[in-house]
Amino acid sequence: MDSEKGTSTAFNSSSTTIPGGEYDVFLSFRGPDTRETFTDYLYTSLKDAGVRTFQDNNDLRIGEEIGPELLEAITQSKISIPIFSKDYASSKWCLRELSQMVECKRTTRQMILPIFYDVEPFQVRHQSGSYEEAFRNHESCFQESTVKEWKEALREVGALKGFREKS
């Protein structure tokens, strides 16, 4: 994960039959938006409840590549929780993680439980507001196929029933 990214966490491993499962839940978030507020509280609460939690700055070993480690943590989780905040879509790592979550949902039936933190689900689903602005920037830096994959992942996950949280 880079400075834009976040954490992981999951539910009790006996509650699901998804293969793998080094972690219970993977939390995906944009660090500057929620790391020291909502996400920290959620992470701490889950850890205190005995939920196996991946957290980017604690579980990565010095010298390891951040990207592959994060993507593997998603694959090894039973549930993914993306925390969509105002600037979530501005982070290429958040979008890469989200695409990996969608892939795991399709291949291993991993559950995705979105949290909409100070954004509405329609903003995520339709890439409007700050999400639209973020994609204008991405379109000039990334291949069309990559941007399309990210938009499709946002549409799919933004259409899921999730939780709304206000700061």
Per-residue confidence at 3, pLDDT binned at 50, 70, 90?
very low
Predicted confidence at residue 65, as pLDDT, reads 58
Note the pLDDT tens digit of each residue in 20-37.
Answer: 568 999 999 998 899 889
The answer, as to whether pTM is greater than 0.75, is yes
Tens digit of pLDDT for each residue in 84-124? 999 999 999 999 999 999 999 999 999 999 999 999 999 99
Active-site positions read: 97
**Calpha distance 112→163 (Å, rounded):** 11
Count of residues in the chain: 167
| Pick from 6-10, 61-65, 78-82, 130-134: least confident | 6-10
What domains does the chain contain, in order, with CATH numbers? 13-165 (3.40.50.10140)
Query: CA-to-CA distance for 24 and 29, rounded, in angstroms?
Result: 16
For residues 120 and 154, is the Cβ–Cβ distance under 8 A?
no
Write the pLDDT tens digit of every residue in 69-87: 889 999 999 999 999 999 9
